[in-house]
Every structure is written in structure tokens, then in C-alpha cells.
Amino acid sequence: MTHAAAHREFTPSDMAEGDVYKLLSGAVLPRPIAVVTSRSPEGIANAAPFSFFGILSHAPATVAIGIEPRPDGTRKDTARNIIETGEFTLHIPDVAMAQAVQDIAAPEAPEVDEIDLCGLARVPGTHVDCPRLLAAPVALECRFDQRLDLGPARDIVIGTVEGIFIREGAVNAALHVDPERIDALGRLGGATFATTRDRFQL
């Protein structure tokens, strides 16, 4: 019988918020990264990366994004845009997009188009009025469904997937997705990233 090793216990309710973030972001890994594009009510395109996100269901196809507030406590542009316009596009970036993902993470004013800043090619959305990034191997065009309010400007945004776009050649006739063709970028703690290139089967 294998005996479990000893563990050190932490209680989030007794800790500083930043310390909880460090533990969770450093322990729950690797985390897939979503690059989310949205558009403000004024028509300004926005792009930002998030690693607190996931697929919740396939029927209906549902995703969720955890969007933390800005350092000054205000709501981020992505959350505001999604809530006010009702749509967004979630991309899975590949390793080749790593620098662009890092670049668009920098805070910019709401009137700044981050997609232009990082030089990513885009096309108009098919099901939503949000840009779709051509470099990303996967894009999920989504309609805003609901928001979970976790406190001032701290949102979990839930959306229904209206369209799935996958890189040509990455899906076979049986609809199996080739992870090598996707070459997804993952997030570890801090500014450390990971790939999906080291795999094994059980």
C-alpha cells in the first residue's frame, strides 16, 4: 500500500488575497490559456489572456472565464465588454503565440486596440461581432449567458459556444483533434509557460 506524503494546510479565508492567488496559480497546473477578444459598446476591439477558465459542459457547449479586477479595483475591459455587448470569442493560443500572449497582458486604456498593438491578424466573427484571431489554432465564438458576482468587479463570466473554429488539418474525419497540430500553450505559476509536447497514454 502506498502511503500519502504529509501535506501543509492553508485556509484561504485566513489569508491575504494575493497569497491565495500565488498558491492556486502555482498549484493548479498546467492551466490552458484563453485569449479572449471582445468589442466595447463603442466598437473598440479588445484582447486579453486568461488562465482562470475552462469548459463546463458540451451539451449545451458552455465555457467560463474568471476575470479578476484591475489593481485599482475596477472591472476589466473584457468583463465590461462581455456584460454590455453579450458576446466574446475565446481562443486557444499555440506556442508560437507566446510572445503575443505576453504582450496583450499589459494593461491598456479602454480606447486602445490591443490586437493592433501586438500585430495579430484578425477576421470578423461569424456568429458574434468580435474579432477572430487567425494565428490561434482554436477559436470559440460565444454568447454571454450569465455572470457570477464574486465581489466588486470580480466576475465569473459564463458563455454558450455558438461556433467552433479549428485549424485546418488539426481535425480528422472522426472529429478527433490532433494535439500536435494545436501545440497549445499552457500556464504555470508566475511568468512560466508550458507546452503539451511531452505526453503519455494509460
* One pLDDT digit (tens) per residue for the chain, 202 residues: 566 789 999 999 999 999 999 999 999 999 999 999 999 999 999 999 999 999 999 999 999 999 999 888 889 999 999 999 999 999 999 999 999 999 888 777 777 777 887 889 999 999 999 999 999 999 999 999 999 998 888 999 999 999 999 999 999 999 999 999 999 999 998 889 999 999 898 9
User: What pLDDT does residue 141 have?
Assistant: 98
Q: Nearest Cα to 127, choosing from 156, 167, 160? A: 160
Q: In one letter, which amino acid is 129?
A: D
Measure Cα distances from 97 to 71, 87, 101 in Å: 26, 23, 6
Q: What is the pLDDT of residue 1?
A: 55
Phi, psi angles (nearest 5°) of residue 125: -65, 155
HEC letters along 91-147: EECEHHHHHHHHHHCCCCCCCCCHHHHHCCCEECCCCCCCCEECCCCEEEEEEEEEE
For residue 168, give the 3-state DSSP assignment: coil
Reading the block at residue 194, the C-alpha cell is 508550458
Q: What's the predicted TM-score (pTM) here? A: 0.92
Q: Report the pLDDT value the prediction gives residue 189, as an integer from 0 to 100.
A: 86
**Cα 88 to Cα 120: distance, rounded to the nearest angstrom:** 17
Among 173, 143, 139, 171, smallest CA distance to 158 is for: 143
The rounded distance, in Å, linking the Cα atoms of 123 and 40 is 17
Q: What is the DSSP letter of 184?
A: B
Domains in the chain, CATH or no CATH each: 31-195 (2.30.110.10)
Written as nine digits, the cell of 93 is 493560443
